[in-house]
Amino acid sequence: MTTLAIDVHGLAKSFGTVKVVDGLSMQVPEGEICGFLGGNGSGKTTTIRMLCGLLRPDAGGGTCLGFDLLREPMRIREQIGYMTQRFSFYDDLTVAENLEFVARLYQLPDRQRAIAEVLQRMEMTSRAGQLARELSGGWKQRLALAACVLHRPRLLLLDEPTAGVDARARREFWDLIHEMSADGMTVLVSTHYMDEAERCKRVVYLAGGRLMVQGTAAEVVHGAGLTVFQATGPGIEAAVHRLRRTPGVETAAVFGDALRIAGKDHDALRAAIDALPNAELTWQEVPPRLDDVFIHLLTEQEAA
């Protein structure tokens, strides 16, 4: 039987008259990397803060790492690492001094050994004496991750950890996440990047504070029931404007030298293609991708 690191039901949270999370239920098995997706204002950060005990839900409940969300928030906090959207460490302290501060907060018995080990794992040993303000965005994210895992948590909560860093730094950061997952750590990571979502074993998508879909990437793509056609050739820019106004075409977008259209009505998409005056485009039906599904879900939510 699969042990769940996160098992919550009916979570709700409002700020004033604004309902930010509305009846959210989600489950994440131990040891998995779960991508937490949704547009700005979809409730991801609020949900993460409820999971780690920083916010108390208005309704609902459940468990995180086997501890009750409402009755045992302090027990939860002892065994999680939470990385916020913004860099939240001291610019005027060195890398090692920031980690020393965190180690003291957790009252680690052998602080220097723990710091040395995490610096080695993050490949930051040579930067131990460097001031945090002198680090690039990617190295600041590594320092933040090092601080989050210094006490060896069972669950890592990452809130858009790679926003604003370059592609190489993002890839290296994700390599570290997969290494820690291989050691048994559960990871819940919110992201806007579809290539990062595809690196997760499970994805959860929120819109308007509500759960839209959860499951493996393959399950999410299959369950959406989307048909996607892709075209190449001259005139795709003109074609995309016409297709966006055509019934049955839910989304139409240009990616590089290709035009992709998606919708749930296969025949309507085929009719839209046949009605185009441009006969030079070469069309083929292609498998849907995660980004096709999420744009479809966001479009549905905006139209509701």
62 & 200 share domain: yes
For residue 204, being part of any structural domain is answered with yes
Residues 133 and 196 in one domain: yes
Task: Note whether residue 304 is domain-resident.
Answer: no
Contact 47, 11 (CB under 8 A): yes
Query: What's the confidence (pLDDT) of residue 85?
Result: 84
pLDDT average per 10 residues of sequence, the chain (304 residues):
90 95 95 90 92 93 95 93 90 96 94 96 95 93 94 94 85 92 94 87 90 90 93 91 92 91 95 87 93 81 65
Does residue 295 sit within a domain? no
- In this structure, are residues 223 and 54 in contact, taking their beta carbons and an 8 Å threshold? no
CA–CA dist 150, 95 (Å, integer): 13
Six-digit token pair at 29? 């098995």
Helix ranges, the chain (H)? 44-51, 73-78, 95-105, 111-121, 137-149, 167-182, 194-197, 217-224, 236-243, 266-274, 290-303
Same domain, 231 and 211: no
Q: Give this prediction's pTM.
A: 0.88
79 and 52 within one domain: yes
Assess whether 69 and 114 both reside in one domain.
yes
Residue 62, domain extent:
4-216
Q: Is residue 302 part of a domain?
A: no
Q: CB-side exposure of 7: number of CA atoms within 13 Å?
A: 11
Position 295, amino acid: I
Residues 207 and 233 in one domain: no
Report d(CA 8, CA 290) in Å as an integer. Answer: 25
Structural domain includes residue 303: no
Residue 269 lies in a domain: yes
* CATH number, domain with residue 259: 3.30.70.100
Contact of 152 with 81, CB cutoff 8 Å: no
Choosing from 154, 187, 216, the residue where a domain stops is 216
Last residue of a domain, one of 197, 216, 235: 216
Same-domain pairing of 142 and 53: yes
Query: Do 150 and 238 reside in the same domain of the chain?
Result: no
Q: Please tell me whether residues 190 and 262 are part of one structural domain.
A: no
Those residues whose C-beta lies under 8 Å from the C-beta of residue 92, and which sit 6 or more positions away, are 131, 132, 133
State the CATH number of the domain containing residue 207. 3.40.50.300
Quick one: pLDDT at residue 291? Answer: 86
Q: Are 60 and 119 part of one and the same domain? A: yes
Closest CA to 255 of 194, 196, 186: 194
Choose one of 170, 189, 216: the last residue of a domain: 216
- Predicted pLDDT of residue 207: 85
- Token pair in block for residue 80: 């999680």
Please report whether residue 147 resides in a domain.
Answer: yes
Burial of 121 (0-12, 13-18, 19+ CB in 10 A): middle
Number of structural domains in the chain: 2
Residues 151 and 247 reside in one and the same domain: no
Same domain (yes/no): 128, 267: no
32 in a domain, yes or no? yes
Residue type, 293: V
Q: What angle do CA 217, 219, 223 make, to 5 degrees?
A: 120
